[in-house]
Amino acid sequence: MSEAKKIAVVTGAGTGVGRAASLALMNTGFTVVLVGRRLDMLEETAKLGPAGKSLCVTADMTKPDSIAALFDKVKATYGRLDVLFNNAGMGAPAVNFEDLGLEQWQAVVNTNLTGPFLCTQHAFRIMKDQTPRGGRIINNGSISAHAPRPFSAAYTSTKHAITGLTKASNLDGRMYDIAVGQVDIGNAATPMTDRMVNGPGVLQPDGTTKHEPRMDAKAVGDAVAYMAGLPLDANVLTMTVMATKMPFVGRGLNSKLRKQPHAQ
């Protein structure tokens, strides 16, 4: 089936990575269901893309009934679903580990893990019974699926768990021709990462704060569109898309290489 006839759902489509991915998918021919809590932001995303290639649907990823209603609308409107990008997410306040409240923890888990789990279940139900059968699910993992930032226990835990969800659902989806993959993003230039370049910058593991390099969020959108455009007999299980000079590779150093290359 050509992309011109394919349907994609993007959660958190009103801003940042979700908007970039939605535009990239629309520009490659997908019709995209733009999902988020704020209709005005979804409509702004729709205006930035080709006319007639999107549908705005408000939904709350922390409410199972809202998620169910979203996928009922997708099925009733289009009769099929080809791509789901589980992108919506949130973090908790940067506080000492022992001071993180249970309600804050549960809010992050509900949004970042339970929401994608429920969306994936609904996508499975549609994809396995449609003709042509199958589809693709892409999860937003984050660099935090590999390494934490200070004071980010809730966010990091959910992103590590997303990796488990990606692998398990990819395995369970094989019998239905459903491919599941994950894109791990580092320092995309979005409103969420403005703090990286403003004020004192971002807290580092050594206790200092630094400004960090960012990349255009379009690079992430293009990566999602690439994954979405693959035939179902091929899959990108994990892909890391990151600002080249961000402090991740090299023990977190964000400076010139040490003069002692053999230092332990």
Which residues are known catalytic residues? Answer: 155
Cβ–Cβ under 8 Å, residues 71 and 79: no
Question: Which residues face 32 on adjacent strands?
Answer: 8, 54
* Residue 140 Ramachandran class (φ > 0 left, ψ -120 to 50 alpha, else beta): beta
Q: From CA 93, how far away is CA 211, in angstroms rounded?
A: 19
